[in-house]
Structure 1
């Protein structure tokens, strides 16, 4: 009886080992296949987002070689790298938010108790800026011209401004 009990235990352990081996080998193959599918999907997603970002940044000084070359002209004594120009122009425009009557380059007079200030700035090329402004309740956008003067100061000019309805 003891021999048959050991025989049954041995057969049971062998079967459990076979089933466990098959289960884990199939699981590894399944996980590997799933990993490959997810990786492919994520790469496609990343490529899609990269293309959308590239399209969204089409109108920007960072991607416009012609506008960049405007500041690298050989006729001028000074060369302005656009990497330094973008934050400099943005800072100068946002510094005007400290004006007690609001930023003068939003193209709108103060309507209520709050002043209009510029929130976001996007430099489109060597001449144009688009900016978002608000007074906390009313929002708008403005298209500006900017000029880099010979003394390296920046001057702005409002081209078009609009307010959105509440």
Structure 2
């Protein structure tokens, strides 16, 4: 009787070990496949976002070699580094927000109690800027020309401005 009990316990232990091994090996394989699928999805998502970002930044001074070359010249004293120019131009344009009548480069006169100020600026190339502006209630966009003068000052000119209809 003792022998058959030990035999049954041994068979039970071997079967339990076998089933546990099979379960864990399939669990590991399942986790590896799930990891591969998730990694593939994430890579695809990253590629998609990278492509969308590249498309969104197509019109930007940072990615436009022709516009960048406009600022490079053989004479280093007249050369302007576009990486340093972008924050300078943006800051100069935003400095006009402190004007009591609002930023004159929105192309809009003050309508209500609030003045129009520029909120966001995107430098498209060596000549054009697009900016978003508002007075807190009314929003608009403006297309500006900018010029880097010989003395490295920045001049702006409003090309086109538009206001969006106010929504109630």
TM-score by length of 2: 0.94
- Give the secondary-structure state (helix, strand or coil) at the position aligned to 2:67: helix
> Number of matched residues?
166
Q: Residue deviations 1:45-80, cap 9 Å, x none?
A: 111111111111111001111110111022573211
CA distance in 1, matches of 2:95, 2:9: 84
TM-score by length of 1: 0.96
- The residue number in structure 1 matching 2:22 is 22
Do structure 1's residue 41 and structure 2's residue 41 form an aligned pair? yes
2-11 or 110-119: bigger deviation: 2-11
Alignment of 1:62-141 (within 5 A): 62-74=62-74, 77-141=77-141
Gaps in structure 2 of 5+ consecutive residues: none
- Give the secondary-structure state (helix, strand or coil) at the position aligned to 1:136: coil
CA distance in 2, matches of 1:119, 1:47: 30
- The residue number in structure 2 matching 1:160 is 160
CA RMSD of aligned residues (A): 1.2
Q: Give the C-alpha shift of residue 3 in structure 1.
A: 2.8
CA distance in 2, matches of 1:118, 1:3: 91
CA distance in 2, matches of 1:16, 1:36: 30
CA distance in 2, matches of 1:151, 1:44: 48
CA distance in 1, matches of 2:114, 2:105: 16
Q: Give the C-alpha shift of residue 14 in structure 1.
A: 1.2
CA distance in 2, matches of 1:60, 1:106: 20
Q: Give the C-alpha shift of residue 109 in structure 1.
A: 0.5
CA distance in 1, matches of 2:128, 2:76: 21
Gaps in structure 1 of 5+ consecutive residues: none
Q: Residue deviations 1:77-102, cap 9 Å, x none?
A: 32111000000100110111111111
CA distance in 1, matches of 2:84, 2:133: 24
